[in-house]
């Protein structure tokens, strides 16, 4: 099942206009979420500014419109500032000092539009000793502690398989924007809200960070096992692997796998402390039972016994799963060059103001004239701005790739 448009229903943010100065992944993740919830997101690109292209772009840039303005051109900057006057939100992910060099920092724009919510995303924060460093996801994974706890015990650092700090920081920034908009309803003023890859990554460490801050424990790598509960992790079956969370249902677990008469009475496994002390022996004993059946047979058996469990999918299997199809996690858009495409929908469900997939990723500069006409520029002025190089239409820009 695919989710498409919301058939004319207005999303919860359809009254908002967002100026999007972001590129790469983290910033566009934020503006994509706002766009999916109905906001009028206007992506502003420079004439030579690179963007992610291909399938990644289709997923990150859907539901947006694209214009090209040269912020380094005096008339381009003036054009941009006129757009700021009517905007609700501006999102940028330049290095911390770049916006000030361009003359578009929060303080300046807030003077023009006191109701503007100005949202910034950087690698390491807006100030401090690392503020001007370039930052990308894997750097944040390492510095935030994630790589130290990922992977098999003693195997050295491992990155997570997704750009987790990019996605997290973009999502946290969305939360901050929504909170700032609620505050604006109370006091009539916008504000500056910002986060970074590093702050977001540390916040996502949550349980492991708390173990250090409160318990003084530096968490080690635990592989596919839960770091403190056991058994809770990945086990081999007859045809692959399965994830099982035994938690407090030890007796139900050993009975379900047929181990009540041996595993269940083994003194090495009689309580949590004993099971933790004999992890390898317990895994071996459990897998001897679990390898009697394929994963798809174990899932209902263990679920019926009240044990959370599930298969381990490749992406093709994820979208073939009946529950995923029922949830409609893939949504359809139509691109003028690439035709019908499926992208991952926003995982939020609203009963009255649903999120939607209204349009495919725009071509860079596709909407420059349309947007400026809507904002009060006349055709002759737009033509003049085009001739002098302050704006552009449907320009070719360098690619970032799809990594």
Instruction: Kindly tell me if the per-residue pLDDT of 374 is higher than 90.
Output: yes
* 124 lies in the same domain as 15: yes
Alpha helices for 237-396 (secondary structure H)? 250-256, 272-277, 279-290, 295-304, 315-320, 322-327, 368-374, 379-387
Q: What is this structure's pTM?
A: 0.93
Strand partners, 120: 92, 194
* 131 lies in the same domain as 56: yes
Kindly report the CATH number assigned to the domain that includes residue 15.
3.40.50.10540
* 87 lies in the same domain as 191: yes
pLDDT above 90 covers a percentage of the chain that reads: 90
- Angstrom distances, CA of residue 174 to CA of 124, 257, 362: 18, 44, 21
- Residues 6+ away with beta carbon under 8 Å from 61: 28, 32, 43, 51, 361, 362
Helix (H) or strand (E) holding 19: strand 17-20
232, part of any domain: no
Instruction: Kindly tell me if the per-residue pLDDT of 134 is higher than 80.
Output: yes
Beta-strand relationship, 40-45 and 64-69: parallel
Neighbours of 36 (CB within 10 A): 24
Average pLDDT, stretch 229-236?
Answer: 93
Average pLDDT, stretch 226-245?
Answer: 94
Tell me what pLDDT residue 394 has: 81
Q: What gap in Å lies between CA 232 and CA 226, rounded to an integer? A: 6
Average pLDDT, stretch 254-258?
Answer: 97
282-327: pLDDT as tens digits? 999 999 999 999 999 999 999 999 999 999 999 999 999 999 999 9
Strand partners, 232: 245
Residue where a domain terminates, one of 311, 340, 369: 311
- The confidence band for 400, taking pLDDT boundaries of 50, 70 and 90, is very low
Instruction: Kindly tell me if the per-residue pLDDT of 7 is higher than 90.
Output: no
138-175: pLDDT as tens digits? 999 999 999 999 999 999 899 999 999 999 999 999 99
119, part of any domain: yes
231, part of any domain: no
Residue whose C-alpha is closest to residue 193's, from 251, 118, 127: 118
Structure tokens at 317: 């299997």
Instruction: Kindly tell me if the per-residue pLDDT of 6 is higher than 80.
Output: no
Average pLDDT, the chain: 94
358-373: pLDDT as tens digits? 999 999 999 999 999 9
* 307 lies in the same domain as 371: no
* 45 lies in the same domain as 127: yes
- Residue 231: asked if its preceding bond is cis (omega within 30°), the reply is yes
* Residue 271, domain extent: 241-311
114, part of any domain: yes
Instruction: Kindly tell me if the per-residue pLDDT of 402 is higher than 80.
Output: no
* 56 lies in the same domain as 143: yes
Residue whose C-alpha is closest to residue 204's, from 132, 256, 127, 143: 143
Q: Are 309 and 244 in contact (CB under 8 A)?
A: yes
Residue where a domain terminates, one of 311, 339, 369: 311
Tell me what pLDDT residue 230 has: 86
Q: How many domains does the chain have?
A: 2
Q: Give the full edge-to-edge strand order of the sheet including 232-236.
A: 232-236, 241-245, 309-311
Give catalytic residue positions: 166
Tell me what pLDDT residue 228 has: 83
* 113 lies in the same domain as 170: yes
* 163 lies in the same domain as 257: no
Average pLDDT, stretch 14-28?
Answer: 97
319, part of any domain: no
Instruction: Kindly tell me if the per-residue pLDDT of 57 is higher than 80.
Output: yes
* 251 lies in the same domain as 366: no
- The confidence band for 395, taking pLDDT boundaries of 50, 70 and 90, is low
Q: What gap in Å lies between CA 132 and CA 373, rounded to an integer? A: 37
Question: Which of 43-57, 67-81, 260-274, 311-325 bottoms out in mean pLDDT, i.e. has the lowest?
Answer: 43-57
Tell me what pLDDT residue 299 has: 98
177, part of any domain: yes
Kindly report the CATH number assigned to the domain that includes residue 288.
3.30.1540.10
Tell me what pLDDT residue 229 has: 84
216, part of any domain: no
Residue whose C-alpha is closest to residue 162's, from 182, 191, 137: 137
Strand partners, 3: 331
Structure tokens at 123: 């690698």
* 281 lies in the same domain as 375: no
Helix (H) or strand (E) holding 117: strand 117-122
* 74 lies in the same domain as 181: yes
20, part of any domain: yes
* 177 lies in the same domain as 271: no
171-202: pLDDT as tens digits? 999 999 999 999 999 999 999 999 999 999 99
Supply angle C-alpha 168, 174, 176, rounded to 5.
105
């Amino acid at each position: 099942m695919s989710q498409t448009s919301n058939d004319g229903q207005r999303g919860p943010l359809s009254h908002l206009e967002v100026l999007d100065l972001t590129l790469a992944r983290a910033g566009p993740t934020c503006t994509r979420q706002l766009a999916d919830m109905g906001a009028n997101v206007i992506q502003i690109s420079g004439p030579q500014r690179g963007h992610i292209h291909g399938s990644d772009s289709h997923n990150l840039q859907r539901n947006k419109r694209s214009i090209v303005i040269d912020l380094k051109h005096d008339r381009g900057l003036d054009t941009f500032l006129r757009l700021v006057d009517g905007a609700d939100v501006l999102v940028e992910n330049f290095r911390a000092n770049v916006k000030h060099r361009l003359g578009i920092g929060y303080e300046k724009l807030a003077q023009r539009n006191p109701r503007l919510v100005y949202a910034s995303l950087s690698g390491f924060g807006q100030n401090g000793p690392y503020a001007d460093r370039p930052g990308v996801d894997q750097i944040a994974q390492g510095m935030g502690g994630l790589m130290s706890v990922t992977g098999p015990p003693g195997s050295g650092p491992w990155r997570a398989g997704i750009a987790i700090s990019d996605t997290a920081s973009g999502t946290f920034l969305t939360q901050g924007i929504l909170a700032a908009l609620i505050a604006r309803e109370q006091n009539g003023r916008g504000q500056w809200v910002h986060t970074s890859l590093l702050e977001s990554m540390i916040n996502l460490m949550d349980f492991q960070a708390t173990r250090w801050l409160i318990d003084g424990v530096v968490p080690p790598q635990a592989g596919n096992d839960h770091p403190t509960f056991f058994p809770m992790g990945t086990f081999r079956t007859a045809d692959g692997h399965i994830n099982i969370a035994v938690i407090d249902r030890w007796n139900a677990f050993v009975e379900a796998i047929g181990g009540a008469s041996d595993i269940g009475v083994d003194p090495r496994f009689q309580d949590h402390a004993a099971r933790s002390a004999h992890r390898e022996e317990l895994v071996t004993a459990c897998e001897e039972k679990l390898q009697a059946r394929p994963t798809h047979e174990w899932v209902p058996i263990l679920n019926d016994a009240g044990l959370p469990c599930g298969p381990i999918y490749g992406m093709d299997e994820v979208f073939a799963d009946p529950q995923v199809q029922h949830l409609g996690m893939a949504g359809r858009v139509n691109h003028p060059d690439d035709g019908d495409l499926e992208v991952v929908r926003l995982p939020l469900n609203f009963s009255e103001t649903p999120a939607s997939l209204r349009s495919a990723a725009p071509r860079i500069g596709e909407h420059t004239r349309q947007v400026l006409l809507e904002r009060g520029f006349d055709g002759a002025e737009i033509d003049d701005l085009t001739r002098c190089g302050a704006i552009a239409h449907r320009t070719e820009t360098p690619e970032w790739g799809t990594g």
